Amino acid sequence: MKSWFKNIGYKMQAWMRGRYGLDELNTALAVVSLVLLLLSHIPGLMHLYILSLAALIWSMVRCYSRKLDKRRRERAAYLRFTGRIKGWFSLQKRRIADRKTYRYYRCPMCRTIARVPAVKGRIRISCPHCDRTFEKKT
């Protein structure tokens, strides 16, 4: 019996060879599918069941796909999108933690955020990205 399970494992490995497999986007699609499935049980939201199945099927298609370049581009776009969201939340967390000792200002030219020590009066700030200087009151 033990060798039978071992053989199944080897056969699965051979079948998955050359296929894309799991990544963060597949996991997110599966979670979204589960949430939509749970929400579809609420009266009046039955149409979410179809969206749930679509997300689950797309996750499976991505997992077993042999089009590796296309799947990598999809993953890169997903990571860029989630990176922006995570970066925004990270900045808000840092702003709250540093609220007594630092101030955050956005460069008027390139929109990059600069962190400066909180001192009284006006301060000249040099942008870390474009090296433009601007004055702000802290």
Residue 26 has pLDDT above 90, yes or no: yes
How large is the average pLDDT for residues 66-79? Answer: 93
Cβ burial, residue 33 (10 Å; 0-12/13-18/19+): buried
Question: Does residue 92 form part of some domain?
Answer: yes
23-29-30 Cα angle (round to 5): 90
- One domain, residues 77 and 108: no
- Which is higher by pLDDT, 121 or 92? 92
- One domain, residues 38 and 93: yes
**According to the model, what pLDDT value does residue 128 have?**
82
Q: Report the half-sphere exposure of 84 (CA within 13 A, side-chain side).
A: 5
pLDDT band at 34, cuts 50/70/90? very high
How large is the average pLDDT for residues 60-67? Answer: 90
Question: What sign does the CA torsion over 12, 18, 23, 28 have?
Answer: negative
How large is the average pLDDT for residues 10-32? Answer: 87
- One domain, residues 71 and 46: yes
DSSP 113: E
Residue 72 has pLDDT above 90, yes or no: yes
The residue assigned the tokens 């009066």 is 121
- One domain, residues 110 and 121: yes
From the list 89, 91, 125, the residue with the least C-alpha distance to 110 is 125
Residue 114 has pLDDT above 90, yes or no: no
- One domain, residues 43 and 76: yes
DSSP 66: S
For residue 113, list its beta bridge partners.
106
The two tokens of residue 45 are: 């939201």
Calculate the average pLDDT of the chain: 89
Task: Note whether 18 and 66 are within 8 A (CB).
Answer: yes
- One domain, residues 57 and 88: yes
**According to the model, what pLDDT value does residue 33 have?**
95
Give the range of the structural domain holding residue 32, as residue numbers without chain letter: 19-97
